[in-house]
Amino acid sequence: MYKEQIASTKIPITLLRSKHNPLCSACENITREAINFLSEKQIQDKIMTILHDTCSQTFSFEQKCLEILDSYATLVFAKIAEIKPDEFCKQYGLCRDTALFSAVKSESTCVFCHHIIDEIVSKLKDPDAEFEIIQLLLKECNKIEGHQQQCKRMVLQYVPLVLVNGEKFLEKNNVCAMIQACDAGKRRTFNLFSARKLVRDA
C-alpha cells in the first residue's frame, strides 16, 4: 500500500544539496527519533529485563548467556548512540549531493517510514533472509573464545523465535507513530510518549 503512495507522488527533480531531498530529511528524522528512543535509560533497562528473561530459558547456559548479554549490550547501546543520522542515511543511498529524487507530499516522512517497516516485515517473513541472519550470527560466535559451540546452539535455538516475535511486534504496533514519524492525530492515536509509557509499564 505504501509503495503505491510513494510511487503516486513521484516528481523527478535534480537536487544540488542533500538537505533539499525530502526522502533524505525523512530518513534523518526517523533515524534521529529512533536513536533518542533507544538511548533512554528506562527503555534500555526494559530491553535488558526482557533479554535477561530470555536467558533464564536457556537453562544450563543461563549464566553464560547473561555474561555475554551484559558484555555486549552496553557496547550495542553505545554504538547506537554514536550513529549520526546524516551519515547513516548517506550510507544507504538516501542522501546524496547530486541525484535524481522524488518530490513527495508533506506526509512523506510517515509514508516513507511505513514503507521501511513493510520492507523489514517482508524480510522477516523471508526464509532466505532469516538464514542469512543466522549465518552471520554463527560467524560472530566464532569470535567468542571458549564458548563458540554454546553460542551457536543459542543462535539456532532462539534467533528464529526472536525474529518471529519481532515480526509480530512490527505488525501489531504503529512503530512509525512511536518514533513520531507519523502524525498520530491523522493515523492511530499513539504517540512517542504513549509508547514509552507502555514499555515502562509492561
| C-beta neighbour count of 162 within 10 angstroms | 13
Q: What is the residue extent of each domain of the chain?
A: 2-201
When pLDDT is cut at 50, 70 and 90, the band that residue 14 belongs to is: very low
When pLDDT is cut at 50, 70 and 90, the band that residue 195 belongs to is: very low
User: What pLDDT digit, counting tens, does each position of 130-159 carry?
Assistant: 888 888 888 888 877 777 888 888 888 878
Q: Give pLDDT, residue 96.
A: 64
Q: Has residue 75 got a pLDDT over 50?
A: yes
- Higher pLDDT pick, 60 / 74: 74
| C-beta neighbour count of 90 within 10 angstroms | 17
Longest dimension (CA), the chain: 59
User: What pLDDT digit, counting tens, does each position of 175-193 carry?
Assistant: 777 777 776 644 443 344 4
Q: At what angle do helices 192-201 and 22-39 cross, to 10 degrees?
A: 30
Contacts of 199 (CB under 8 A, 6+ apart): 42, 43, 46
From 39-48, 90-99, 158-167, the region with the lowest mean pLDDT: 90-99
User: What pLDDT digit, counting tens, does each position of 15-68 carry?
Assistant: 333 445 677 777 888 888 888 888 888 888 888 888 888 777 766 777 877 877
Q: Which residues of 110-130 are buried (b: 16+ CB within 10 A; e: fewer)?
A: bbbbbbbbeeebeebeeeeeb
Task: Find the mean pLDDT for residues 111-138.
Answer: 82
Cα 148 vs. chain centroid, distance in angstroms?
27
Give backbone dihedrals phi and psi of 177, rounded to 5 degrees, phi first.
-75, -35
In order, the DSSP letters of 175-191 are HHHHTTSS-TTTSSS--
d(CA 173, CA 156): 27
Contacts of 98 (CB under 8 A, 6+ apart): 14, 15, 16
Q: Give pLDDT, residue 21.
A: 66
| C-beta neighbour count of 68 within 10 angstroms | 18
Highest mean pLDDT among 1-5, 67-71, 139-143: 139-143
> Nearest CA to 85 among 144, 151, 130, 19?
19
